[in-house]
Chains A and B, each alone.
Chain A
Amino acid sequence: MWSFSNIAGSIQNWLNQTFSPTWSLVMQMIIAGIAVISLFAVLGLILVLMERKVSAWMQIRLGPNRVGPKGILQTFADTLKLLVKEGLTPAGADKLLFNLAPVLALVVGMLLMAPIAFAKDFQLWNLNIGVLYVSAVSSIMVISILMAGWASNNKYSLMGAMRSGAQIVSYELSAGLSILTIVVLCGSLNIPDIIYSQADGWWIFKGHIPAIISFVIFIIAVTAETNRAPFDLAEAESELTAGFHTEYSGMKFALFFLAEYVNVFIVCAIGATLFLGGWMPFHIGQWQSFNHVMDYIPSSIWFFGKTFFLIFLIMWFRWTFPRLRIDQLLNLEWKYLLPISMINLLLVTVIAILGWHF
């Protein structure tokens, strides 16, 4: 059957036959790097267009509909415009940090791509602590935002960066704890292990109520972590004009923009992996024929379908809810989400020890 792992395997075989082992490894790394970069660009284009179309749909508008059929080339045109725009560096800015910040944001996004399983047995780097790696690397994101806010020499940027720092550091706790509940249930940090443990049912269905609670907390926490509305205080448009990227223009701004969308993709991919079974097809108990039909859908389609469903959910939040205030935001985390997720983790540990999960 056509699948990513077969294609990857045949490329690897061909490389091994044609080149010496060292060169084969180098070639594989180059191909993987190019694949990540192009996936990055494609995701940026697709997600920006999707956001605009979803928002238009919710706001009784048409959205972009002039460039290309149904406006699908709109983001290409926008990217082209941003490419040729002048990238200003404001007077009094810390030039090194100012220019480094968007690149760092992008690099973090690329690093996070590594352990994600895009299809059955198709992964760039099968890391045995995959989930821990994701939580660890994603917290570097806040540094790039703080750098951007501090280096811009702008009061709005600084305030946006400070808000963002407080916000991301707080919400990482809840996100981490809700990831831990799944880790406790399946007893592994390795992403393929987590996915295979869901072969006879996704964790959201078979993990009892604690898994559902941690799924809800996870979605709230990652929405906050990626600075998306209703938690978009870092770039609160009506308060701080554009927050931490007020002073950025041209391609430097585009990199931040791209990093935001890729981060949304990554957290949704992690959510899909942990709670919705990654590339695992949807199976219902003993319905053999139904399960068989589901198996025929390629695993990559399952993965991207689930991920884009979660992305749609996060976009839906953005176009529905008003923004929280900074103290309400921190109250929500420290007074509600964190205690709930701690108790939830305790509960799940008890369930796992007593072997009540199935």
Chain B
Amino acid sequence: MFEEIGTTTEGDLIINVGPQHPATHGVLHLVITLNGETIKKLEPHLGYIHRSIEKMCESLTYRQFIYVTSRMDYLSAHINNQACALVVEKGLQIEVPDRAKVIRVLMAELTRIASHELWWGAMAMDIGAFTPFFHAFRERETINDIMEETCGARLTMNYMVPGGVMQELHPNFQKKVKEFIKLFRLKVHEYEELLTGNIIFKNRMKDVGVLSKEDAISYGCTGPVGRGSGVSCDIRKLYPYDAYDKVQFDEVIETAGDSLARYMVRIKELHQSISIIEQLIDNIPEGDYQAKTKAVLKLPKGEFYQRVETARGEFGVYIVSEGGTTPHRIKFRSPGFSNLSALDKMARGSKLGDLVAMMGTLDLVIPDIDR
């Protein structure tokens, strides 16, 4: 079946990387045409973890469909939920209390740190360094504990609901987050000492998988991948939602477009996330954590779109409503799908060993690509 794919001149080797392979971190299937060690062509095959989440959402109410989105990009579960809550609030014109907005931003930034930490460890493991993975997971565990206290879950939190957040913050929340931030500032330096300055690491990353600004735009790359190529695409900055217009932070942009640039964007974003959390953690306004909403939500007839910045890039929710209790049509714009599509462009002409470095810095979460 796979022999037909690609331009197979004499002597080319066709390799199936995946669906079960240590580097794909999930059930992604890449068909690679190799000439020796050099990649001539790369074709991603999807569908191994397709659960038709969009179709499922069409038969769920506006309160229920949010929970399914935690299962897409499970590392940015909070932020996916946030996007869905925001689009419903937009449709019903619900005024969200300030307290809820700030809590949402705090949770989203903690999620971003947790996600970047997992990426850092997994990417290091891809290029052959095993130890960073354990160092990254040590701090990620602390975030999971904080999430567990407030949301009751560690991975699929389902904390954001239309109108605010589901419940009040845990009394320990502020104290624990402050402790974590204090510790984490030191740990980021430790991460950089362990990996960023390493000469082998730099050689593996520099000028590998270069994606020009034009290509990044035409492939629709967003998030750290787009910003690594010099595209200004931080939704938090360009189209602020919730409390992002109240905080000061920089949009991290690198212009090199190679794997090292994408790596540096994420490391610098960790610092930005820390600063956002520090600005908000002592200034959580008093008030309700949830606006009063009707028991049954019915979006008016029309089309609604909301985009947010997840750890991987721009995540969009598009809802077509016929005025019923469930969405008539729903479409998610997931960042991973667009970022993956640029992989072929990046990989052509580079060595097989570079492929894992590129995939590592694309930060692919397969259930996000393949919904």
> Which A residues lie at the B interface, using CB under 8 A?
55, 58-61, 155-156, 159, 163, 229-230, 232-233, 236-239, 241, 319-328
Asked if residues B130 and A319 are in contact (CB atoms below 8 Å), the reply is yes
Q: Which of B133, B138, B356 gathers most chain A CB within 10 Å? A: B356
10 A-B pairs in the complex with CB atoms less than 8 angstroms apart: A60-B138, A238-B23, A238-B356, A239-B352, A320-B129, A321-B200, A323-B128, A323-B353, A325-B203, A325-B354
Q: Is the CB of B37 within 8 A of A60?
A: no
Whether A156 lies near B22 (C-beta < 8 A) is no
A230-B22 in contact (CB<8A): no
Q: Is B173 an interface residue (CB 8 A)?
A: no
In addition to A323-B127, A325-B204, A328-B204, 15 A-B residue pairs with Cβ atoms within 8 Å of each other are A59-B130, A60-B134, A61-B134, A155-B13, A156-B15, A230-B200, A238-B127, A239-B23, A319-B130, A321-B128, A322-B124, A322-B128, A325-B351, A327-B37, A327-B351
A241 x B130 contact (CB < 8 A): no
Given A322-B198, A328-B203, decide whether A159 and B352 contact each other with a Cβ distance below 8 A. Answer: yes
Residues of B within 8 A of A163 (CB): 37
In the complex, what residues of B have CB within 8 A of residue A59's CB? 130-131, 133-135
Chain B residues near A (Cβ < 8 Å): 13, 15, 21-23, 37, 124-131, 133-135, 138, 195, 198, 200-201, 203-204, 351-356
Contact of A326 with B353 at beta-carbon distance under 8 Å, contacts A59-B134, A156-B15, A238-B22 already known: yes
Closest chain A CB from B299 CB (angstroms): 45
Task: Give Cα distance in the complex from A58 to B132, angstroms.
Answer: 10
A residues within 8 A CB of B200?
Answer: 230, 321-324, 328
**Within the assembled complex, what's the spacing in Å between the Cα atoms of A61 and B137?**
11
In the complex, what residue of chain B is closest to A166 when comparing beta carbons? B37
Q: Say whether A322 contacts B352, CB under 8 Å.
A: no
| Nearest CB on A from B248, distance (A) | 35
Shortest CB-to-CB span from B23 to chain A, Å, is 4
Point out the residues of chain A lying under 8 angstroms from B352, CB to CB.
Answer: 159, 239
Find the A residue at minimum CB distance from B130. Answer: A319
A324-B129 Cα distance, complex, nearest whole Å: 10
- When the two chains form their complex, are residues A326 and B128 in contact, meaning their CB atoms are under 8 A apart? no
A156's nearest neighbour on chain B, judged by CB, is B15
Residues in B with CB closer than 8 Å to A156 are: 15
Cβ distance B10 to chain A, nearest Cβ, rounded Å? 16
